[in-house]
């Protein structure tokens, strides 16, 4: 399980990476392509032909869709968000999402005809679909040895949820996985969907008891980030008119105990949109005071949280995706299609010293548009975010062309770490092992996890 110290150390590095991004945007120093002389050098096609990586680097591919795992289930497909945690005896534990629906029978964990559904113990599956169309999303946990670059084990760890897209690690060492529900319920669904679930990483195989964190809201979830000081949890919504949410738990660190759900609005009510799609209202580098708007009926049976929030003054965002918390408490969010060219935005939120308390109005939190690249050569449609051991920001791209893992230095220089060789293969779940030796990420289609190793200490500085 990752320690709180490790969590804070990793999140601390975000500040430097985004500071460089902001400088680059403010001074208009965009190059026509990722900066030469920075990173790890030109990419080369490996003999496996799946990825391009720099010279001197190699990769392993493992836990492919459809493989039979030691627990008797198949590796589910649609690999998505993921985080790495320190396991026993120097092992790395990866908790990985699967963005599946009930109709994806050829990629589910129970086989084409769901013949293995009966192997799931009672109480360990959230939605069995009346035994006809079980929900096939959830998480798997992987036990990986970075010393030998071998997968020791992988097993189903959360069952019966739907479209588990992203999520986030917590300071107390768990993974919160988020359902990115569709507008219509799954056929034969027994339970409502669109919730978060918490998974504790473990080297010992077994399914967690699926407890929907209903007070955190029912909507098209993407990612979460936690403010360790106040216990507040910030949540993104993957819709073109989605909101930014804040959950104030009754008991910090105990999400299942309930709490209050809110949506982000601005104190300056003349600014009604953050997306800058046609008439830009949000300038880069200008923090604005925020207000948090209480939302009732967080379980939202009509799937109308964003409409009710907007009617009360909350501002929309352009497909909220990745989220990360820095050591100073600032929280960063990726908006996949924001900006005039629809290539994405990165926002920074600085919580109030009185975050979530009655005194919050004395010194409100502030929201800042940190970056809006508007250059597809540099970055296209940012998704999952992470931080490298050397302090650079790591970004997964998600679009219909060739997707890349992009690095961004504290000076705002862009470089490419890895690249797909075929289009429409979304990359997700980028994260480093706790020992800093191995970069992990997922290729959603056809579904496998990648571990890259090499001379990370030799990053070129330009």
Give the C-alpha separation, 287 to 289, whole Å: 7
Residue 186 in contact with residue 102, Cβ under 8 Å? yes
In this prediction, residue 461 carries a pLDDT of 80
Residue pointed to by tokens 């990769």: 59
Phi, psi of 261 (to 5 degrees): -105, 135
**What is the Cα 158 distance to its own chain's centre?**
17
Secondary structure element (H or E) that encloses residue 25, with its range = helix 14-27
Q: Show contacts of 376-380: CB within 8 Å, 24+ apart.
A: 376/341, 376/343, 377/31, 377/32, 377/33, 377/34, 378/30, 378/31, 378/33, 378/34, 378/406, 378/414, 379/343, 379/344, 379/406, 379/414, 380/343, 380/344
Domains of the chain in sequence order: 4-451 (2.120.10.30)
Residue 77 in contact with residue 98, Cβ under 8 Å? yes
Give SS3 for 237: strand
Question: What dihedral do alpha carbons 230, 80, 151, 155 form, nearest 10°?
Answer: 80
Give the C-alpha separation, 418 to 43, whole Å: 7
Residue pointed to by tokens 């992203």: 166
Residue 24 DSSP label:
H
Secondary structure element (H or E) that encloses residue 451, with its range = strand 448-453
In this prediction, residue 35 carries a pLDDT of 64
In this prediction, residue 289 carries a pLDDT of 98
Q: Helices in 288-446 by DSSP H: which ranges?
A: 305-311
In this prediction, residue 33 carries a pLDDT of 56
The DSSP secondary structure of 54-98, one letter per residue, reads ETT-EEEEES-TTPBPTTSPBPPS-EEEEEEEE-GGG-EEEEEEE
How far is residue 361 from each of residues 199, 251, 267, 350, 354, measured CA to CA in Å?
A: 35, 22, 10, 14, 8
In this prediction, residue 29 carries a pLDDT of 32
Give the C-alpha separation, 17 to 388, whole Å: 10
Residue 40 in contact with residue 458, Cβ under 8 Å? yes
**What is the Cα 441 distance to its own chain's centre?**
12
Give SS3 for 23: helix
In this prediction, residue 36 carries a pLDDT of 67
In this prediction, residue 187 carries a pLDDT of 82
Q: How many CA atoms lie within 13 Å of 102's alpha carbon, on the beta-carbon side?
A: 24
Phi, psi of 342 (to 5 degrees): 65, 25
Give SS3 for 216: helix
Q: What are residue 79's DSSP bridge partners?
A: 98
Give the C-alpha separation, 194 to 163, whole Å: 9
Give SS3 for 257: strand
Residue 384 in contact with residue 81, Cβ under 8 Å? yes
The pLDDT profile of the chain, 462 residues, written as one tens digit per residue, is: 333 334 334 333 333 334 444 433 333 333 335 666 899 999 998 888 999 999 999 999 999 999 999 999 999 999 999 999 999 999 999 999 999 999 888 899 999 889 999 999 989 999 999 999 999 999 999 999 999 999 999 999 999 999 999 999 999 999 999 999 977 788 889 999 999 999 999 999 999 999 999 999 999 999 999 999 999 999 999 999 999 999 999 999 999 999 999 999 999 999 999 999 988 899 988 999 999 999 999 999 999 999 999 999 999 999 999 988 876 788 889 999 999 999 999 898 999 999 999 999 999 999 999 888 889 998 899 999 888 888 787 899 999 999 999 987 877 788 999 999 999 999 999 999 999 999 999 999 999 999 999 999 999 886
- pTM exceeds cut of 0.95: no
Give SS3 for 282: coil
């Amino acid at each position: 399980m990752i320690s709180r110290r490790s969590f804070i150390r990793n999140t601390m590095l975000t500040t430097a990476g985004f500071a460089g991004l902001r400088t680059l945007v403010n001074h208009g120093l965009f190059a026509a392509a990722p900066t030469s002389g920075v990173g790890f050098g030109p990419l080369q096609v490996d003999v496996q032909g799946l990825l391009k990586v720099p010279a001197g680097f190699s990769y392993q591919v493992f836990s492919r869709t459809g493989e039979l795992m030691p627990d008797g289930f198949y590796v589910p497909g649609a690999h998505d968000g993921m985080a790495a945690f320190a396991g026993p005896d120097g092992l790395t534990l990866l908790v990985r999402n699967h963005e599946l629906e009930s109709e994806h029978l050829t990629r589910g964990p129970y086989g084409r005809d769901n013949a293995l559904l009966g192997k799931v113990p009672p109480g360990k599956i959230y939605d069995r679909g009346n035994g006809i169309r079980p929900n096939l999303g959830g998480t798997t946990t992987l036990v990986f040895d970075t010393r030998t670059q071998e997968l020791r084990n992988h097993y189903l760890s959360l069952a019966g949820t739907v479209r588990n897209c992203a999520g986030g690690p917590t300071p107390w060492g768990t993974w919160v996985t988020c359902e990115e529900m569709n507008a219509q319920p799954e056929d034969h669904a027994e339970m409502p969907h669109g919730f978060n679930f918490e998974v504790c990483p473990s080297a010992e195989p077994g399914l967690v008891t699926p407890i929907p964190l209903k007070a955190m809201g029912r909507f098209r979830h993407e990612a979460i980030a936690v403010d360790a000081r106040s216990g507040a949890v910030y949540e993104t919504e993957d819709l073109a008119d989605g909101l930014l949410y804040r959950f104030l738990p009754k008991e910090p660190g105990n999400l299942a105990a309930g709490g209050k759900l809110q949506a982000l609005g601005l104190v300056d009510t003349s600014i009604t949109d953050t997306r800058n799609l046609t008439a830009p209202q949000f300038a880069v580098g200008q923090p604005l005071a925020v207000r948090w708007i209480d939302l009732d009926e967080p379980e939202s049976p009509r799937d109308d949280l964003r409409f009710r929030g907007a009617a009360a003054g909350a501002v929309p965002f352009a497909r909220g995706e990745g989220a990360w918390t820095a050591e100073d408490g600032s929280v960063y969010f990726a908006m996949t299609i924001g900006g005039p060219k629809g290539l994405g935005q990165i926002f920074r939120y600085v919580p109030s010293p009185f975050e979530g308390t009655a005194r919050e109005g004395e010194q409100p939190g502030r929201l800042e548009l940190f970056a809006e690249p508007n250059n597809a050569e540099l970055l296209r449609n940012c998704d999952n975010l992470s931080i490298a051991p050397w302090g650079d920001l790591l970004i997964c791209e998600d679009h219909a062309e060739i997707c890349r893992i992009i690095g961004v230095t504290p000076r705002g220089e862009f470089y490419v770490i890895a690249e797909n060789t075929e289009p429409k293969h979304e990359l997700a779940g980028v994260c480093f092992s706790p020992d800093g030796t191995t970069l992990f990420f997922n290729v959603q289609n056809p579904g496998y996890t990648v571990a890259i190793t090499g001379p990370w200490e030799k990053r070129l500085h330009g």
